[in-house]
Amino acid sequence: MAANEGPAFVPVEDMSHITSKLAELDKYGSDLFDCRRPDLVEKASQVLGLNPISDIVEFAFLFKEDVAIMHKGVLEAISSFSPATK
């Protein structure tokens, strides 16, 4: 994993990545995401200037990359259903 060197959130204009994310989600289901703290997902969405979103999958659809939310060094929410790049 590489650290993000750009802005925290760049709105995605080309939503074609959703098709591949949905295929991964259909194939692997809930093995690809988990969320112990929906309140932190909502807080992250607000910090990024978005409407409040507490569902990690819905939140992750806004990004081409995988999403992980940590709080005080603890992984609280993750979505990793971006297809591998060939």
Looking at the predicted structure, is the pLDDT value of residue 44 above 90?
yes
The domain ranges of the chain are 17-79
pTM of the complete model: 0.81
Token duo for residue 73: 């060094």
Q: Which residues of 3-21 are buried (b: 16+ CB within 10 A; e: fewer)?
A: eeeeeeeeeeeeeeeeeeb
Q: Which residue's entry shows tokens 């409407």?
A: 51
* Res 86: pLDDT: 38
Looking at the predicted structure, is the pLDDT value of residue 85 above 80?
no
Mean pLDDT over residues 49-53, rounded? Answer: 94
